[in-house]
Structure 1
Amino acid sequence: MAKRLLVIATALATASCSTLQAFETREFSAEGTLPSAPASWSAGTGEAGAELARDWVASLEDARLSSLIDEAFAGNPSLAQSLARFHGAQAAARIDGARFLPRLDGSTTYTRTERNSGAGSDSFGLGLSASWETDLWGALRDNSRASGLNAEAAAEDVRAAQLSVAGLVAKGWFSLIEARQQTELAERDVATRQSSLDLTERRFARGLVRSSDVRTARSALASSQAALASRQRVEASSARGLETLLGRYPSASLAPEGDFPELAALGGLGRPVDLLGRRPDVRAARDRLDAAGLQSDAAAKALIPSLSLRGSSGTGGIDVSDMFDLDTLVSSITASLVAPIFDGGTLLAQRDQVYANAEGLVAGYVATVLTAWQESEDAIHADAILARRVENLRQAYEEAAAAEDLVVREYARGVSTIFELLTAQSRRISAESQYISARRERVTNRVDLYLALAGDFSAAQSADPAAHTGE
């Protein structure tokens, strides 16, 4: 009998579809709207098609940085949020996947009936019910596949968050190193200004200079002390910012170690088209676009009839023992065919809404790819320019330091004035400060380049989303 009902319901569903308007699904693709990419980076060096160097964190040769990135993976709250969203997307995918299967429910009932005469009766029941929505047109399958793709996109979001956190920690670490070096420079400047003041006061005591020279030297010392205070504040702020990334209390107790790494020349950078399969944000945008296409299919299929089956069996009577008496067993099976006739345009509007969302994701995917290409080209182009800038500032600093030494000796002999001395010292301080900042800027840009190209690093394996799912 159940087989007959299923055959009849299927035939009715097919007949009903022939009376409804045919709604065709749409293809959503971004390939045709992407500009053609060159075979190699227009701003870069390296062999076309070459693979990107592996493990960019290790290439910076800073063991402390590697340990800090591992610490951030364990304690960074933003990364934990991304991981939680991934787990939620996984659960949503399991929910949609479960809709393929029949549902079975068990129940026990107790009913007390009271009459006006004061008499009453009890009844007890035990039952099972099963229901199953058949996936005649594949709508459930489309939604399940879409949820799976959204879960994959959420996993890519976690990888993007890992890459971002690693980059932020690296840049924060190098900013802290710069802040420490700038503080040390300011401390040396204070010592230098104090030495100049002592020299000026001795010369004033011998009547070789005027009192205005002493006051000028004192003013220069006070300015240097004020600059030192500013540098100390920046260093403490840099330490707190990095500690927050690590998930630590921001106590400004993190002390930098070492110097900036020596950067090797750029090697294989891959091709622009490689980013489409390597950058996690691009992969996530692609997954969400594909999921939106499947959801649009499911929305269109909601306009055609659906078939569901329901069956139930139960026992019961006036005594508890009747629940276990098979002679009281009653069973039923129902096949229902539901076709939308009039809903005020709700289903059509929902379909159009899903279509519009998918079209927006097409544009979003294109924007993501273009941004990825732009970030890569900018970082590649800046790498060579910053290398030249560092070299030029190194020469400027060395020449300024040599000029300062000469003026100091001349001032001690009475050949130069206090203003020439202070000017030479200020020029050297400024040149050295710019040289430190340029070195930090260059290594920070190299980190940005690795982030733009989605370079791999071994620390990421410790935060692989699959490692947190038991898979």
Structure 2
Amino acid sequence: MKFRALRNLLAAMGLSALVAGCMVGPDFVQPDSHLPEVSFQGDKGQVVPDARLPAPTDPMWWRVFRDPVLMKLEGQVAAANLDVQTATLRLAESRFQRGVAAAALFPSLNGDAKYNRELYSQNGIVSLIAPLAGPGFAITPINEYNTGFDASWEIDLWGKVRRQVEAADASVDQAADQRRDALVSSLAELARDYIQLRGVQTQIKIANDNLKVDRDVLSLTQERQQRGLQNALDVENAAAQVEGVRAQIPQLQQQESEYINALSFLLDEPPGALRSTVGEASVHTGPPRIPLGIPSELARRRPDIRAAEDQLHAVTANIGVAIGDFYPSIQFNGNVGFDSLEISNLYKPSSLQYTFGPSVTLPIFAGGRLRSTLNLRDAQQQEAAITYRKTVLQAWHEVVNALVAHRLEMSRRARLRAQSEHAGAALDLARTRYNDGVTEFLTVLDAERTLLQAEQQYATSTTNVSLDLVQLFKALGGGWETEFPDVPSETAAVPVPVATVDAITIPAAR
């Protein structure tokens, strides 16, 4: 009889396991990014210049600036940056949470051991049977020893737990992509601060060079005044020119210190710690041709798009969890152990006891909670779909805006370089004409101011060209591949067609 009961139980468990192959709720389908397949579009629908380069963007894009100090600093971001470290811990948390969700797929087994010493009340329920026991009946304390194991297992009959694990897996992927996004943002922020530092240092050099020239002019003017060749007005104008240039330097030095501190903060260093490391150098504007990859790759390259897709996947799986709550649940419970009033008899066969059997729970009335939960999950899925679409569209706009800004700033830089060259030639002519007595001294000072402004504007534009390039690389989403690569089985490398790869061609400065 016992064997028949056990056989029936095993048969029921086997049938439940077969039925458990089904999963309620919608299966996740990767959304269409609606990104163009061939080229990014610029203003008025015109295609961005396409160089048909066969290679996609270099993941270590900062190498295009050919700056060894920048490359060294960028190599420290993944390990040192606090935002990346925080994202790494959040990824670990999501993996632990996934382990919690997956544990529900397996039976639980607990061991226990108990000892009780009991004394029943003489005035309690025992008093009802005391007359039946005779006059010699006495209530004395008793000992009870118990040990055994409890087991329970809820069959995932409708795939509810598997949907929970699926949602947890998607959350792990989302945390991984958010860590990649933190790295991309930190890499770009460090590059921006570094380039702005080099730009400020260039401005300081220009100011110091002009200050030296203006001081020489002031000394020469003072000597000429002493010989009666120039008046006091010329001396005062030359002195004002010197002080005006000198006044620019402290503000530039303050900016230099702030950018060095910003770099130190990004690498978890105290203020000023990197001053000796960065030293002084000029700004590199990058190569004349930059491969971009095809637009549709953005959906797999930009971590924020990937994270939005992961979020959509997670909330889609949660719909299945909500639907599973409408169905009955089957749980198998069992207990086996030993129970005895004497410890010497505890592990004898006659002390063995066990219970086992299934239980079924069917939701009948919950005050609308189940329906409201399902409606909530549906709304969350729609919200996640809109967020995904918005993220993709924003990425597309950022790339095009960065392309346009970089192209136009390169054109502006070429014009400013020409302006600087003309301003230098004008200063040479003004000095020659002044020495020949043809023009006034104020003309020379005006020419010097014009040259200083032209050089400063050209230096600022050179910095902006590099900053626009950093913004472009950030918009393209690269930089995480070497530090936090995809699992090979998840995303296989796809060859890039030569005929469909965008690149920008930078006009040469003239």
Calculate the TM-score normalised by the size of structure 2.
Answer: 0.82
Q: CA deviation at 1:86?
A: 0.9
2:41 maps to 42
Output the aligned Cα RMSD. Answer: 2.9
Partners of 2:406 and 2:477 lie apart in 1 by: 16
SS in 2 for 1:324: coil
- What CA distance in whole angstroms lies between the structure 2 residues aligned with 1:416 and 1:246? 55
Provide the rounded CA distance (Å) in 2 between the counterparts of 1:359 and 1:452: 26
Does the CA-based 8 Å contact 2:157-2:329 persist in structure 1? Answer: yes
Q: Which moved more, 1:270-279 or 1:136-145?
A: 270-279
Contact 1:9–1:337 (8 Å) recurs in 2? no
Matched, 1:374 2:379: no
Tell me what 1:169 maps to. Answer: 190
Equivalent residue letter for 2:105: F
Counterparts of 1:126-205 in structure 2, within 5 Å, are: 126-205=147-226
* Mean Cα deviation higher: 356-365 or 144-153: 144-153
Once the two structures are overlaid, the 10-residue window that deviates more, 85-94 or 410-419, is: 410-419
Q: How far 1:206 moved relative to its partner?
A: 2.5
Deviations 1:184-227 (A, max 9, x none): 11222322232222222222222333323322322222222221
CA contact (8 A) 1:30 1:362 kept: no
1:307 alignment partner, one of 315, 330, 349:
330
CA deviations 1:226-252 (Å, max 9, x no partner) are 210011001111111111111111226
In 2, are the aligned partners of 1:110 and 1:122 still within 8 Å (CA)? yes
Partners of 1:2 and 1:294 in 2: how far apart?
Answer: 36
**SS of the counterpart of 1:45?**
coil
What is the one-letter code of the residue matched to 1:45? P
Secondary structure, aligned partner of 2:76: helix
What is aligned with 1:386?
A: 409
Normalised to the residue count of structure 1, the TM-score between the two structures is 0.88
2:146 alignment partner in structure 1:
125
Letter in 2 for 1:192: V
Shift of 1:46: 2.4
CA distance in 1, matches of 2:233, 2:405: 47
For 1:25 and 1:387, how far apart are their aligned partners in 2? 53
Give the distance between the partners of 1:116 and 1:340, measured in 2 at CA.
Answer: 42
| Range 1-10 or range 407-416, more displaced | 1-10
Which stretch shows the higher mean deviation, 273-282 or 127-136?
A: 273-282
Do the aligned partners of 2:264 and 2:273 also contact (CA within 8 Å) in 1? Answer: yes
Residue 20 of structure 1 is matched in structure 2 by: none
Q: Bigger CA drift: 398-407 or 81-90?
A: 398-407
Query: Secondary structure, in 3 states, of the residue corresponding to 1:108?
Result: strand
Aligned counterpart in structure 1 of residue 440 of structure 2, from 403, 411, 417: 417
Instruction: Give the length in aligned residue pairs.
Output: 456
Q: Is the 8 A contact 1:39 1:49 kept in 2?
A: no
The worse-fitting range, judged by mean Cα deviation, of 85-94 and 244-253 is: 244-253
Look up the equivalent residue of 2:415 and give its one-letter code: N
What is the one-letter code of the residue matched to 2:380?
N
Q: Identity over aligned residues, as a percent?
A: 26
Deviation at 1:27, TM superposition (A): 7.0
Moved more, 331-340 or 76-85: 331-340
The farther-off stretch of 52-61 and 130-139 is 52-61
Q: Does 1:112 align with 2:129?
A: no
Higher helix share: 1
Query: Does structure 1 residue 283 correspond to structure 2 residue 306?
Result: yes
Q: Which residues in structure 2 correspond to 1:254-403 (within 5 Å)?
A: 254=275, 255-403=278-426
Long gaps (5+) in structure 1: 13-22, 467-471
Whole-Å separation in 1 of the counterparts to 2:109 and 2:65:
58
